[in-house]
Chains A and B, each alone.
Chain A
Amino acid sequence: MSVAPALRCENLSRWYGEVQGLAGLTVTIEHGIVGLLGPNGSGKSTLMRLLTGQIKANRGWVEIYGQRIVPGTYEIFRRVGHAPGEDVHFETDRAVDFLRFMAALGGDSTSQAKDRAEKALDRVGMLVKAGVKLNAMSKGMRQRIKIAQALLFEPDLLLLDEPLNGMDPVSRRSTMNLVREWAGLGRTVIMASHVLHEVEGVTDRMLMLHHGRLLAEGRLTEIRELIDMKPRRASIRGENLRVLAAELLAQELVIGLDFGADGLLNLDTRNLPALLDRLQEAGIHGQIHSLEIDDQELEMVYDLLVGGSAR
């Protein structure tokens, strides 16, 4: 097992002309599974490309297992598997031929490449489709082929860029199991996604990117604390709501409110638990007839977090 961390970035920055792809990212990942979260354009793919030496940093540096990635670096990529976010671009190739080609590029002889390709296909459950051309496959199948090529050389560091895109539920589950198994062997997996619950299904360790910057880092529980700091909305119906609203404002339990149609009162708060306690009290006294809290889906909460930082 390596002593050096799987990944270290220091002030890593990249611009595309005047567009900022990644800005001053400093992070260290020792091992295990880490979710890389962010909406489209947040810098996830830019980071993946920087990690795999496909693009150069404008500022800062990145090290993989203690080796700095500079133009001309290639040996370290024997320990790195990368499934890019873009579709596979070898459409006219059969799955097994594509993987054999990738294996040969890693130095395998013809027979070694064939064995390795079949093993990788088997690992992602695609061995039965080995002879099918990539352009005859569904997007989900091609996603699995991409993951298979990333696994070819049993990498210590596996980089997956939106690996679950286009996959059916069964493939998703098996891919998530595969990621967990891979990390269970002491390896490192960085899985980029713009969907929180996809990442949540495999890990609670996350990096959240937004506009190329690190928005949050840590465990999901820690990130939830950040999430709880963000304004939430509760909507109520009932009697004497104007009096209640004035009272909530005076107690600084809400930071904003508005009356909607049909007597609906929308309350924005940074302290949802305290507000709920107060509303529960009012409910006991028959003042409140209905209460709705904004969707608790993590994806929604994540959007809220990103939206908050954007403002």
Chain B
Amino acid sequence: MNAIYATAIFSLRQRTLGLRLLAPLTVALLPTLVLVMAIAFGASVQPLELYRQYLIPLTLFFVLPFVCMFMMLPVLSELYDRGAIGYIYTRPIPRWQPLLGMFLGAIVGMLPVFLIGVTVPAIICAAADSDISIGTWLALVGGISSVLWIASLAYGAICMFLGVWSKRAIIHAFLILVVLGSVLGSLPGDGQRYSLHYYLIGLAHAWCGITDSATDLFPPVISMPSVFKSLLVIVSTTIVMMFATARAAKNRDVL
């Protein structure tokens, strides 16, 4: 347990100290910029709907995969590239322990990024439309934050796996998170079911009031998955990918 805790703290420090949060924070705040411009240019849509129909899909389909890649891919690949992983792998502990610790540390490091990305625009929208109660905004921010956090477990685990398994982790992560995740998940049809994003839409439907029909930036969903099914798929993916990561780490050379 000490090893998991120590590597979690190490990983959290590595991911959040200095200017390392600059890129993920910039990505996380891009939808806010779009939203501010829409309000500034007098969009006909109410701020609450702007948030629900533009900001949430932009966050799910654009911010989520890129923040995951920024935050999770270097967790291990950086240590491999710098040769630092040798120090960790020569300790008398099974390799899954530091891997789990680094995963948890990086996941915790992502929370403030997502929280800032969804809270700042909510504050702006609330200021622009004072008729909506604070409770409504809190529920919406809490809902989308939860979706993002749960999604980051699965996508983070995929990135961790790729960081160990692949020497071209960035390319593979782009294919899986962006192409297979965001793009396939936003295309109507049965193929949507093979994207993790399909299940994120299921959670967003239940927790943020997103409908199953196409509304502005949201793709149509033929058959909305239940919360249970969505959580099952996402948690299962996380567990499977972490096992795969441990397996890959066990067999991979440090070079």
Contacts and interface: CB of A to CB of B under 8 A. Distances in A.
A110 B1 CA distance: 11
B92 A106 contact: yes
Interface residues of B, number: 28
B83 A89 contact: yes
Contacts of A149: 87
B45 interface: no
B133 interface: no
A54 B3 contact: no
A102 interface: yes
Nearest to B95: A74
A23 B86 CA distance: 22
Contacts of A104: 2-3, 5-6
Interface string B1-44: 01101110010000001100000000000000000000000000
B88 interface: yes
Contact of B7 (A55, A105, A106, A109): A105
Interface in B80-121: 82-84, 86-95, 98
A78 interface: yes
B73 to A, nearest CB: 18
B129 interface: no
Interface stretch (A80-88, A206-214, A284-292): A80-88
Contacts of B3: 104-107
A108 B93 CA distance: 11
B130 interface: no
Nearest to B251: A71
Nearest to A16: B255
Interface of A: 16, 49, 52-56, 71-72, 74-78, 80, 82, 84, 86, 88-90, 92, 101-102, 104-110, 113, 149, 153
Instruction: In the A-B complex, list the 8 residue pairs whose CB atoms are closest, starting with the nearest.
Output: A104-B6, A89-B84, A78-B92, A105-B91, A55-B253, A54-B254, A77-B92, A89-B82
Interface of B: 2-3, 5-7, 10, 17-18, 79, 82-84, 86-95, 98, 250-251, 253-255
21 contacts: A52-B86, A54-B254, A54-B255, A71-B250, A72-B94, A72-B250, A74-B93, A75-B92, A77-B91, A80-B90, A86-B83, A89-B79, A101-B6, A101-B10, A104-B5, A105-B2, A105-B3, A105-B6, A106-B91, A107-B92, A113-B6
Given A74-B94, A107-B93, 4 more contacts: A55-B253, A71-B251, A89-B84, A101-B6
